[in-house]
Amino acid sequence: MTKITFLGIGLMGEPMVRRLLGAGLPVHAWNRTFSKAERLAPHGAIAVANIEDAVRDADIVISMLEAGPVVGAVIDAALPSLRQGTLWIDMSSTRQSEAQAFHARLQTAGCRFVDAPVSGGVGGAQAGTLAIMAGGSEADVDDARPVFEAMGRVTRVGPAGAGQVAKLCNQLIVGGTINIVAEALLLAQAAGADPAAVRAAIRGGFAESRILEVHGQRMLDRNFLPGGQVATQLKDQHNILAAAAAAGVALPVTSLVTERYESIGDVYPQADHSAALLALEQMNPGQRVGGAPDQLP
């Protein structure tokens, strides 16, 4: 059977591995903190403490790590132990330029590479409904399709690096829409309307979105326990602006959204990215959506 090695057993990685195991796929699990990989052993994963041993003889290596520099360091550590033809799938969120560099490094070593970042959060990972945006050759994406389909729905969006572009487009829309929903609810409250009723009234119309549904409710409940974290959204915002600069385009709304997340990045880094509401309330002293206490990590 295909040997799959999964690197990075974090908030997203753990449920993704569970989905792979549930689909009957064998998984070797590695994490810098070994105890996180060990937690998956009762579910059928083989926990491996040493990265060289984890990737040796692997057919497919999947990385789900914090950021591009971490992915690069892990590739450097693993590269001497990879066999020729191994397919490395990086499902982390990185910069396009980083993904392209990973592709070149692995290709030089006789390995293959697909960048396949995801959208859907922890809930999507648990349900196996992640939106997977894959950049790489058609043959490599097709080879990995049974693996992808255990975790969600995959779409090839272009060559290596294109997956990260698609993810950045996704995060651009997510970050901007969260901030717009926050503004709408705060305006409703400040102008004397019931923000919960306003949200209910506009749902089903052109303003309907998954973010209005999920994050609008989070804001009303003042539930800022993560989900997607402010620190992660802020990293994505910076990567979006870097991609825009490289492509020679200006993104004025995204620049403003980035400033909003920067204003709370040091104070609430682990809060859910719906905490953009808190950044907006800081700009409007005395204004607050709802009366519930804040739920913060």
Task: State the catalytic residues.
Answer: 167
Residues with Cβ within 8 Å of residue 179, at least 6 apart in sequence: 257, 260, 276, 280
User: Which tokens hold the place of 23?
Assistant: 């689909």
Tell which residue, 206, 36, 172, 11, has the closest CA to residue 91. Answer: 11
| Residue 92 in tokens | 């982390």
The CA distance from 95 to 281, in Å, is 31
| Secondary structure (DSSP) of 220-289 | HHTB---SSBHHHHHHHHHHHHHHHHHHT---HHHHHHHHHHHTTTTTSTTSBGGGHHHHHHHHSTT--S
Tell me the C-alpha distance between 49 and 58, whole Å. Answer: 15
* Axis-axis angle for helices 162-190, 230-247 (nearest 10): 120
Distance CA 64, CA 74 (A): 11
Contact (CB, 8 A) for 138 and 157 = no
